[in-house]
Amino acid sequence: MAEKSEKQMAKMVDAVQPHCDEAIVAAMTCSHAGSMGSLLASKLAGGIGGMARTSGLPNPVFIAVGTDTIYAFDYRPRGFKFKIKKEVARWPRAEMNIEVEETGKMCYFTMTTSGGESYAMEVPTVMSGKDLVALFIAALRG
């Protein structure tokens, strides 16, 4: 992985690690699937956009992958840093099914719990983000 991607992943892991009770191996800021496209369309139409929701999770959401658990956090960007506000969900990693689809500039993934709850998310892969997203998805899949 490129050094730039390693540094960015380390920043995200460092931001969320104090809020988790196990070692975090990867973390990523994610949006609900379709929300980035709706943001662009809404902006072009003069709206505020970006509010598509596929679940009860905040949008955007900070997803952290621990050794045994996947965490979701409400957060706010602070320049190139992240202010973690609160944990909004956690799931046993072994009970999550992860499906991934990559299309050009986006990576879409769906996390489905053993109970049938689904969380459809997206992450951009543009501007050298492909390596970073690949690392995150590999950790998410276990």
Q: What is the pLDDT of residue 77?
A: 82
Q: What is the pLDDT of residue 39?
A: 41
Mean pLDDT, range 128-136, rounded to an integer: 88
**Would the pLDDT of 31 be above 80?**
yes
Q: What is the pLDDT of residue 112?
A: 95
Q: How does the average pLDDT of the chain come out, rounded? A: 85
The three-class DSSP label of residue 112 is: strand
Q: Is 20 exposed, middle or buried (0-12, 13-18, 19+ CB in 10 A)?
A: buried
**Would the pLDDT of 135 be above 70?**
yes
Per-residue pLDDT tens over the stretch 63-122: 999 999 999 999 988 877 889 999 999 999 999 999 999 887 899 999 999 999 999 999
Which parts of 12-105 are beta strand (E)? 24-32, 61-66, 69-78, 81-92, 97-103
Q: Please choose, from the candidates 92, 108, 28, the residue with its C-alpha nearest in 3D space to the C-alpha of residue 60.
A: 28
Q: Which amino acid is at 29?
A: T
Q: Tokens standing for 64?
A: 């952290």
Domains of the chain listed by start with CATH number: 3-141 (2.30.29.30)
Indicate the DSSP class of residue 96.
-
Q: What is the pLDDT of residue 94?
A: 94
Q: Please choose, from the candidates 22, 19, 39, 17, the residue with its C-alpha nearest in 3D space to the C-alpha of residue 124.
A: 39
- Provide the CB-side half-sphere exposure for 91 (13 A, CA): 22
Q: How confident is the model at residue 52 (pLDDT cuts 50, 70, 90)?
A: very low
Q: What is the pLDDT of residue 34?
A: 83
For the chain, report the end-to-end CA distance as a whole number of angstroms.
18
- Provide the CB-side half-sphere exposure for 52 (13 A, CA): 19
Q: For the whole model, what pTM was predicted?
A: 0.84
